[in-house]
Chains A and B, each alone.
Chain A
Amino acid sequence: MSFPWSWNLVTDFRLMWAFTFIQNAYYAGTIIAVVAGLIGYFVVLRRSSFATHALGHVGFSGAAGAVVIGVNPIYGLLAFTLSGGTGMALLGRRASTRDVEIGTVLAFMLGLGLLFLSLYNGYATEAYAILFGEIEGISTAQVIFTLEMAIVVLAVLALLYRPLLFSSLDEDVAEAKGLPLLVLGTAFMLMLAVAISIAVQVIGVLLIFALMVTPAAAAVRLTRRPLYAAILSVVIALAATWLGIFLAFFYATPSGTQFPVSFYIVSLAFGLYVVVRVAVAPYGFRRSARAPHAARRSLDS
């Protein structure tokens, strides 16, 4: 179904908001964009993006397994990503950059997920939802569960924020200062596992990068301050999600074909990333006007 579109965004929004599934999509999408944007900043800082991608695939087999035994896929996702994340953390931080080993496990997990789905009759739709997300199919109960998970992640992140930042940037000094690296690394992987599990509802395991990595990768190029970068990462994830749902609702080709929400979210995140990469110098905006003054001042003193 396609809806009449006007340039009056308020009217458009009211029209759209009359549907419960759209409300739920916005609620879940907002919660997930906040969590994914924040955790994503640490993913970029710790160079764990491949581990993130791999955890998504581990989650896929968990979700598929849950479908086979008639359980809500989110529980399968959580069970598999949490144990996979713990495993990676215990192998040490260096392990998250071992791409050959991770890739091997990733492929096996995808195969396992395929097996589980072939054992299940509703093969196509369930697989599609897990692989690419189904934000317009989120129930009110799922929104509440997502919110609960998000609150847990954000509470833990608020507690760990500075030590996690410190150990991500400067492991050796953080260790000498008495920070427990293994505990921090494990806590991070567990937060990542929960963030991925809830984000899969929106974007699916194959597109998880677009919410967990792309917004933060753009954000770090816009500011050198971690807090601002994390906030910007959330803003970019929110923009892609909100605009994506909106466009998917209203836009249809002349023949009436509508594009999936995930496509819009991924494309918007990608577009923002490209704009940032093209428009901004490698280390952020230059402050060329300030530099000579700073140099002169240090000479004067």
Chain B
Amino acid sequence: MTPSAALSTGIGSSLPREPVLRADAVEVGYPDKLVWHDATFSVERGEFVAVIGPNGAGKTTLFRLILGLRRPNRGRLTVLGEEPRRGNPRIGYVPQRHSISYDTHVSAETLVRLGASGASWGPRFKFREDREATRRALEAVQASELGEKALGQLSGGELQRIFLAEALVGDPEVLLLDEPLSNLDLRRSRELVEVVHGLVTERKVTTLLVAHDINPLIECLDKVIYIANGRVATGTPEEVLTSRSLTELYGVPVEVLHDSRGNIVIVGGENPHEEDRP
């Protein structure tokens, strides 16, 4: 496989509309260092996409570009057919959070409701609408019974479902989830992935999920965006997660191993300099 084949977009051509996300030769970085460059890919409506790569490779940076919190140095990125802009109500975002302070007494329902009402200034007379939207969002993530609990009381998996409801309450078309699985054990990870996958299939919410480990996700994914070594590879998991394509990407030998249950282990390629990045 040539590099260009490994980096191609390939699937989703049955949908005639403009892709949800289109990157065209995007380069992003700070004055003193490049994060990644030459990224060309697209994400189609209703796809479930995993963003994978070593620490500091620039996975969160991709989200900040999509949210309009950063600009690319070069190239062009469009989201839902327009330039990225801050506060786009069509995008729901769950940032990476390690935890929430144990003494947060505010109810989970309040946080979800703020997802709908928190950005409106002055008096707001949409109490019923907000309450109803909040109820539906909690229901969609199977967290109706958690609404009255204090945020500080919730477990890691429960909190992630609340954050998901907070992102979902405005009925976004795109969901960006940054490491929602990082503090969860395998069982809770799979439960959360099931909830997210349900949203993708039932509501056609295009979802990008940053993860460390692809294994809890692998059965439901439509596409993988693999960021490493300053480069971005995209395609189906079968296309990207091969020894050949990752060796291309890293420029050093990489092995992709499969166990008897279909779990994937990636060996080598973890550039030591990548790990040092904040």
Contacts and interface: CB of A to CB of B under 8 A. Distances in A.
Contact of B105 (A167, A178, A284, A295): A284
B118 A295 contact: no
B152 A178 contact: no
Given A220-B105, A284-B150, A162 B93 contact: no
Contacts of B95: 172-173, 176
A98 interface: no
Contact of B118 (A162, A220, A284, A287): A162
Interface string A193-232: 0000000000000000000000000001100111001000
Describe A's contact surface by its main secondary structure. helix
A46 to B, nearest CB: 12
Interface in B110-147: 110-111, 114-115, 117-124, 144-145
A66 B93 CA distance: 49
A177 B87 contact: yes
A282 B101 CA distance: 13
Interface in A275-294: 282-284, 287, 294
B114 A176 contact: no
A166 interface: yes
B44 interface: no
B166 interface: yes
Nearest to A283: B150
A174 B119 contact: yes
Interface residues of A, number: 32
Contacts of A178: 86-87, 119
B118 A177 contact: yes
Interface residues of B, number: 35
Contacts of A295: 145
Contact of B121 (A162, A225, A298): A162
B123 to A, nearest CB: 7
A158 interface: yes
A174 B118 CA distance: 8
A175 interface: yes
Contacts of A225: 106-107, 110
26 contacts: A158-B123, A159-B121, A160-B121, A162-B117, A163-B119, A163-B120, A163-B121, A165-B114, A169-B106, A170-B118, A173-B93, A175-B86, A177-B118, A177-B119, A224-B105, A224-B106, A224-B110, A224-B148, A226-B110, A229-B105, A282-B152, A283-B105, A283-B149, A284-B105, A294-B145, A298-B145
